[in-house]
Amino acid sequence: MIDLYTFGTPNGHKASIMLEEVEIPYNVHKIDITKDEQFEPEYVAINPNSKIPAIVDQDTGITIFESGALLIYLAEKTGKFLPTDTKKRFQVLSWLMMQMGSIGPMFGQLNHFRKFALEKIPYAIERYEKETLRLYGVLDQQLADHEFLCDDYSIADIATYPWVAIYEFQGLTLDEHPNLRRWVKTVQERPAVKRGMIVPQ
């Protein structure tokens, strides 16, 4: 049994989608970041960085924070969505790290400055929108001749999808990125993705 500590954000949805995909039973513990619950001592003991998601594997006693580490752990635990072949494995890990280092931070900054910042700063919005669209182009090019980011569906897709799926919320469109649009439609139809995207209820 897995204890999942999460909230309804793209990073949180990575974890719930993965748990649904690998079909491991899990308990959901909602950490309401709009109420600063991530700073409560009980949660800081699980994740010293006070971010969601995090998991505690009751079967092994292992606690994992940071969504990329969490995805790798669950992939290795179940033998799913992360190839064992060295070349294919590091292709997946490369795209996973791109999500962690570029897509998440850049898309997240666009969300913040466009939707949540008390002061609307045109320079910041323009900067992060431009970088988000550049990353759309990188993904679109990769998907031009790959069904998924690394041929087979993997943790790279699971990590990236929740961030791209919010394009309308960000005030953007995928009209100029048809391969990315096709990929979003393909991934969103997976039953596990549908279930994972509504966690927590």
pLDDT digit string (tens) for 148-160? 999 999 999 999 9
Report the chain's terminal Cα–Cα distance, integer Å.
Answer: 19
Name the band, by pLDDT with cuts 50, 70 and 90, for residue 197. very high
Q: What pLDDT is recorded for position 168?
A: 96
CA distance 142 to 186: 15
Strand order in the sheet with 26-30: 26-30, 2-6, 54-57, 62-65
64: left (phi over 0), alpha (psi -120 to 50) or beta: beta
pLDDT digit string (tens) for 23-62? 999 999 999 999 999 999 999 999 999 999 999 999 999 9
Q: What pLDDT is recorded for position 195?
A: 98
% the chain with pLDDT above 90? 100
Parse the chain into domains and list their residue ranges. Answer: 2-80, 86-190
Contacts of 151 (CB under 8 A, 6+ apart): 88
Architecture of the domain made up of 2-80: 3-Layer(aba) Sandwich (3.40)
Average pLDDT over all residues of the chain: 97
pLDDT digit string (tens) for 2-33? 999 999 999 999 999 999 999 999 999 999 99
Task: For 41-57, give one letter per residue: b (16+ CB within 10 A) or e.
Answer: eebeebbeebbbbbbbb
Contacts of 33 (CB under 8 A, 6+ apart): 7, 9, 52
Looking at the domain that runs over 86-190, which CATH code has it been given?
Answer: 1.20.1050.10
> pTM surpassing 0.95?
yes
DSSP per residue, 92-105: HHHHHHHIIIIIHH
Polymer length in residues for the chain: 201
